[in-house]
Structure 1
């Protein structure tokens, strides 16, 4: 069962690179790598698991749309300042991402019915 596979293996099996995943979640690739391997306190963050599960359920068009949206959101200025964001900014971004993931999950559930 795929739920038992380590998250980095599921990410790869779903055809999403760590670089793409980091771009989607707005984090540095090394940070994402440590997070999906559960190397940070608290294990793999739930929102990252949900994003991976959502990616596994998406069709190619949905995946392209997510990658395009992530690319549009991450301008050069944001990349340069990614390491300097304060906790409030990061939490705000996480909340927005969680909301997007929840919306997509609801859409996917509705399609499966």
Structure 2
């Protein structure tokens, strides 16, 4: 069983945007099917740039396989990644706001640290 901390760390390190998680969810629905970027754009009503960036990130994370013709399919590199994806998708289905916060916080960690440096501290 995956701990909440492990799951949060996986989500933060694997998805640079909620779009990437949405692409993965769509590909995972039919793991035997490979979809083209154009099919993903249409199915998700997303921009081509968002889909292509998401595919590149998911491929680099070892969560999908992209064929030479550009078609992508869900194929995690290890059983452990498959288990973590299952847990992430389940958590996203039950607590989407929490998952979005994990992704946004990880993507903006440098900006948050910079902003926190200018936060006024109250005297005790």
Higher strand share: 2
The higher relative CO (CA closer than 8 Å, separation ≥ 6) is in 2
Larger radius of gyration: 2
Please, what TM-score do these two structures have when normalized by structure 1? 0.32
Please, what TM-score do these two structures have when normalized by structure 2? 0.30
